C-alpha cells in the first residue's frame, strides 16, 4: 500500500537519498524536507522538495516521516502524531540475515572494517555507505556488519532491531551538541546491547553490562592475539597504527569467532585490513617527514590515542568546532608525550588555555595551511605532522573528510617542486 512519506534531511553521507530510493522503489509518494535547497545537494529535479525545519506543515501531512539521524530529539515537535523513524529502521524491517552491529565513541569504523574482513561480510552504516544501499546491492539474505552511531541508535530505540552481535568499543564524552546530556549519549550507545544475542565490549564497560550475554575476551599482549591460551595472530598481522586499534581488534575477533570465523583464518584475514581514510592514515613518509591524517579524531580521547600511536618527534594539529569537550587531559597528554602543539579553529583559544595550565605554549594558526606550515617548521622538517584535532570540523570545513583531504594535499605537497603549505 502506497504511503505519503516525508524524508526529513537529505544528509551528507547519502542516508536521505538512500531512503528516497528505497521508498520510491516500493511505490511510496516521497517528499524531501531539508533546511537547504535542492541545489545544495544536486538532488534530482523531479523530486518533490520542501525547504524548512520541524515547524514545516508538510510534516503533519505525511503517513510516515523518515528522519535523518542528524535530526536531534529537540527538533522533533512533541505533538507530532506521525511516526518518525530513521532510514536504518527500513533496513532492519526488510533485512533477514544476521547483523553484527558496532558502536562506540571512537574506533567503531575501524572495528567494523576488521570485523567485516574477518567474516567476509559487507560493511555499511554511519561512515560507510547507507545500509539501505547495501540492502539494494546485496539483497536481504546477505549478512552485514553495521556501524551505528548514537544518533542512529537513539532513533532506532522505537523498533529495537535484533542483532546477532553487538560490539561496543568505548564510551567517552562526545556529541553534547546533539544529546541533551552525557547519560543520554551513553544510554543511546548501550541500548544496542539490549537488542543483541551476544555482546563484545571493552572490558572497562563490563560493569555497566551486567546481565548481558558477554562474549569471552580475546586479548593482545606481548604482540600476540590470544583466545584464552591459544594464539590466534600476531600484532604485526594487523597493519593499523595504535594500541587502541589492537584492543578494538580483540573485540572484532571475539565477535567474529562467535559468528563462525575459523581460528586458523584470523591471522590471514587480519593481514587484509588497511587503515581507513582519515584514521591514523599515513599519507606521506619520505625525506624524514611523515604526515598522518587522523581527522576522524574529533574528541580529546581520540587525539590522545593518536599521540600514543606515533613514535618519534611529533607536531600535533589541534582544534575545530566545539562539542562540549574538556581539554584538560589532552593538554596533559601533549606535555607528557613531548608533542609540539599547533592550534587553530574555534576551539583554539580553549585548547590554548588548557595547554597553558600545564606549562605548554602552542603555536597559533589561522588556517589549516598555516597550521601545517608551522608544524613542519617546529619539527625542523624531521618527524611526524599529526592531524588529530580532538574537535569536530564544522567551523571551517564541510566535515572531517574534507579536513583530512585538505591536510593530505598540504602535507604531500611539502618540498615538491619548491611547494610549501602557506597560510
pLDDT for 90-143, tens place per residue? 999 999 999 999 999 989 999 999 999 999 999 999 989 999 999 999 999 999
Question: Residue 175: CB partners within 8 Å, gap ≥ 6?
Answer: 150, 151, 185, 323
Handedness of CA 294, 295, 296, 302 (dihedral sign): positive
Residue 308 has pLDDT above 60, yes or no: yes
Model confidence over 233-290: pLDDT tens digits?
A: 999 999 999 999 999 999 999 999 999 999 999 999 999 999 889 999 999 999 899 9
How much is the pLDDT for 422?
A: 46
Residue 52 has pLDDT above 70, yes or no: yes
How much is the pLDDT for 191?
A: 97
Residue 25 has pLDDT above 90, yes or no: yes
Residue 416 has pLDDT above 50, yes or no: no
Query: Is CATH 3.30.70.20 the right assignment for the domain spanning 4-85?
Result: no
Band (pLDDT 50/70/90 cuts) for residue 423 is: very low
Band (pLDDT 50/70/90 cuts) for residue 421 is: very low
Q: How many whole angstroms separate alpha carbon 109 and alpha carbon 208?
A: 23
> Do 209 and 193 form a contact (C-beta atoms < 8 A)?
yes
Residue 180 has pLDDT above 80, yes or no: yes
Q: Domain residue spans in the chain?
A: 4-85, 90-270, 281-413
Q: How many whole angstroms separate alpha carbon 357 and alpha carbon 408?
A: 31
- In this prediction the pTM is 0.86
If you average pLDDT over residues 204-226, what whole number do you get?
96
> Do 331 and 306 form a contact (C-beta atoms < 8 A)?
no
- Average model confidence (pLDDT) across the chain: 94
Angle (nearest 5°) at CA 360 between 356 and 366: 80
> Do 233 and 262 form a contact (C-beta atoms < 8 A)?
no
Q: How many whole angstroms separate alpha carbon 3 and alpha carbon 363?
A: 57
Band (pLDDT 50/70/90 cuts) for residue 172 is: confident
CATH topology of domain 281-413: 3.90.190
Pairing type for strands 224-227 and 230-234 reads: antiparallel
Rg (CA), the chain: 22
Residue 417 has pLDDT above 70, yes or no: no
Handedness of CA 130, 154, 117, 197 (dihedral sign): negative
How much is the pLDDT for 173?
A: 83
- Write the CATH number of the domain with boundaries 90-270: 3.40.1190.10
Residue 420 has pLDDT above 70, yes or no: no
Amino acid at each position: 500500500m502506497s504511503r505519503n512519506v516525508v524524508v526529513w534531511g537529505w544528509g551528507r553521507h547519502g542516508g536521505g537519498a538512500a531512503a528516497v530510493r528505497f521508498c520510491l522503489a516500493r511505490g511510496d509518494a516521497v517528499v524531501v524536507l531539508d533546511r537547504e535547497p535542492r541545489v545544495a545537494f544536486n538532488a534530482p529535479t523531479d523530486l518533490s522538495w520542501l525547504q524548512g525545519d520541524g515547524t514545516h506543515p508538510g510534516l503533519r501531512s505525511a503517513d510516515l516521516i523518515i528522519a535523518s539521524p542528524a535530526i536531534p530529539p529537540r527538533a522533533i515537535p512533541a505533538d507530532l502524531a506521525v511516526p518518525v523513524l530513521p532510514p536504518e529502521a527500513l533496513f532492519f524491517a526488510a533485512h533477514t540475515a544476521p547483523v553484527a552491529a558496532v558502536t562506540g565513541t571512537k574506533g567503531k569504523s575501524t572495528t567494523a572494517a576488521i570485523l567485516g574482513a574477518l567474516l567476509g561480510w559487507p560493511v555499511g552504516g554511519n561512515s560507510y555507505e547507507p545500509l539501505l544501499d547495501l540492502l539494494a546491492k546485496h539483497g536481504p539474505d546477505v549478512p552485514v556488519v553495521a556501524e551505528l552511531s548514537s544518533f542512529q541508535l537513539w532513533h532506532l530505540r522505537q523498533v529495537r532491531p535484533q542483532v546477532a552481535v553487538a560490539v561496543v568499543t568505548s564510551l567517552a564524552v562526545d556529541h553534547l551538541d546533539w544529546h541533551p546530556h552525557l547519560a543520554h549519549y551513553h544510554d543511546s550507545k548501550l541500548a544496542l546491547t539490549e537488542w543483541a544475542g551476544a555482546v563484545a565490549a571493552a572490558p572497562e564497560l563490563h560493569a555497566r553490562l551486567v546481565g548481558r550475554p558477554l562474549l569471552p575476551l580475546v586479548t593482545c599482549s606481548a604482540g600476540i592475539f590470544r583466545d584464552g591460551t591459544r594464539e590466534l595472530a600476531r600484532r604485526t598481522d594487523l597493519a593499523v597504527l595504535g594500541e587502541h586499534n589492537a584492543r578494538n581488534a580483540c573485540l572484532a575477533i571475539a565477535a567474529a569467532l562467535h559468528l563462525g570465523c575459523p581460528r586458523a583464518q584470523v591471522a590471514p584475514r587480519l593481514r587484509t585490513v588497511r587503515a581507513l581514510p582519515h584514521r591514523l592514515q599515513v599519507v606521506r613518509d619520505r625525506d624524514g617527514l611523515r604526515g598522518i591524517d587522523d581527522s576522524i579524531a574529533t574528541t580529546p580521547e581520540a587525539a590522545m590515542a593518536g599521540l600514543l600511536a606515533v613514535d618519534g618527534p611529533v607536531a600535533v594539529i589541534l582544534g575545530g568546532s566545539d562539542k562540549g569537550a574538556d581539554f584538560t587531559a589532552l593538554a596533559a597528554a601533549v606535555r607528557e608525550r613531548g608533542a609540539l602543539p599547533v592550534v587553530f579553529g574555534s576551539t583554539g583559544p580553549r585548547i590554548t588555555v588548557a595547554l597553558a595550565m600545564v606549562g605548554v605554549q602552542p603555536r597559533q594558526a589561522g588556517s589549516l595551511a598555516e597550521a601545517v606550515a608551522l608544524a613542519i617548521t617546529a619539527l625542523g622538517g624531521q618527524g611526524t605532522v599529526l592531524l588529530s584535532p580532538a574537535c569536530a570540523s564544522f567551523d571551517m570545513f564541510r566535515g572531517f573528510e574534507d579536513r583530512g583531504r585538505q591536510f593530505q594535499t598540504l602535507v604531500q605537497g611539502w618540498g615538491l617542486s619548491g611547494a610549501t603549505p602557506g597560510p
